[in-house]
């Protein structure tokens, strides 16, 4: 992972089954690329906790989060208080052009993958 352009540091805990990555500002690394690297290294990626910046809009009756810089899209899972907060903002202001979120990205097979928003600014 350290050799991936845009990755500044990597911390691994085999006991906890955890890899923590810090990225350079403006990086173009996608969650899909990281999952592929992990899989090719013999590891299983179940979920990824992210702090991300991007846009949120409604598309075909669902919410979609698009990560700034990469354009990688995730379907927003309709659960939790943060989801309701996003729905309210969309209803009053339309698409959110810049959202800072903390979320869990779920590997659900074929793209677009899903994420659950834990908090939004």
What digits encode the pLDDT tens for the residues 73-109?
999 999 889 999 999 999 999 999 999 999 988 865 6
Query: How many folded domains does the chain comprise?
Result: 2
Q: Do 51 and 99 reside in the same domain of the chain?
A: yes
Examine the domain organization and report whether 78 and 107 are in the same domain: yes
Per the structure, the complete domain to which residue 111 belongs is given by 46-121
The Cα-based distances of 41 to 12, 98, 99, 115 in angstroms read 13, 34, 33, 24
Instruction: Please state the pTM of the whole predicted model.
Output: 0.84
CB 7 within 8 A of CB 22: yes
pLDDT top residue among 36 and 46: 36
**Domain shared by 40 and 56, yes or no:** no
Domain check: are 7 and 56 in the same one? no
Predicted local distance difference test score (pLDDT) of residue 112? 66
Residues 63 and 101 placed together within one structural domain of the fold: yes
Q: For strands 96-106 and 113-120, give the pairing.
A: antiparallel
Which residues have C-beta within 8 Å of that of residue 110, sequence separation ≥ 6? Answer: none
Same domain flag for 29 and 60? no
């Amino acid at each position: 992972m350290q050799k991936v352009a845009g990755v500044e540091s990597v911390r691994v805990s085999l006991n906890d089954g955890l890899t923590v990555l810090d990225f350079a500002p403006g990086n173009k690394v996608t969650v899909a690329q990281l999952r592929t690297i992990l899989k090719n290294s013999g590891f299983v990626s179940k979920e990824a906790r992210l702090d991300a910046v991007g846009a949120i809009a409604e598309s075909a009756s669902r919410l979609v989060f698009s990560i700034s810089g990469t354009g990688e899209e995730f379907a927003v899972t309709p659960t939790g208080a943060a989801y309701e907060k996003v729905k309210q903002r969309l209803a009053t202001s339309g698409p959110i052009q810049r959202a800072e979120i903390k979320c869990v990205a779920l590997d659900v097979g074929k793209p677009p993958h899903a994420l659950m928003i834990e908090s939004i600014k």
